[in-house]
Amino acid sequence: MSRDAQHSSPSECPPYQGAQPIHVWEAQYPDTWILLEITEEDEGEPVRGLLLATATDVGDLQDIWRAYRDKGVLTMLTYGCPSEPHPKVVICAT
């Protein structure tokens, strides 16, 4: 899957890779939307998950996400770490 593509097909991933912390998945898939099955929470916050699918276009994950939701699977959609620095936003109210 090319990272330069404006639109991509989702890549469903077999869950054989094992559960990992959320930040590990985000580092492993920079500039990519990541759909995870949540396997561990800490006070309601997801901390570990299994990789279900990835895509460069978030819309491509909708059907996969719905299929897991309909099965009652707790999921999380997140975005991998940016590969290039992005400008910070500063708001000033006067």
- The pTM of the full predicted model, rounded to 2 decimals, is 0.73
Write down the pLDDT at residue 38.
96
Helix or strand run (H / E) with residue 78: strand 75-79
**81/17: higher pLDDT:** 81
For 17-70, what is each residue's pLDDT tens digit? 699 999 999 999 999 999 999 999 999 999 999 999 999 999 999 999 999 999
CA angle (24 as vertex; 5, 28 as ends), nearest 5: 30
Backbone angles phi, psi at 88, to 5 degrees: -90, 150
Residue 7 has pLDDT above 80, yes or no: no
**Cβ(37)–Cβ(86) under 8 Å?**
no
Question: Among 71, 39, 35, which residue's Cα sits nearest to residue 54?
Answer: 35
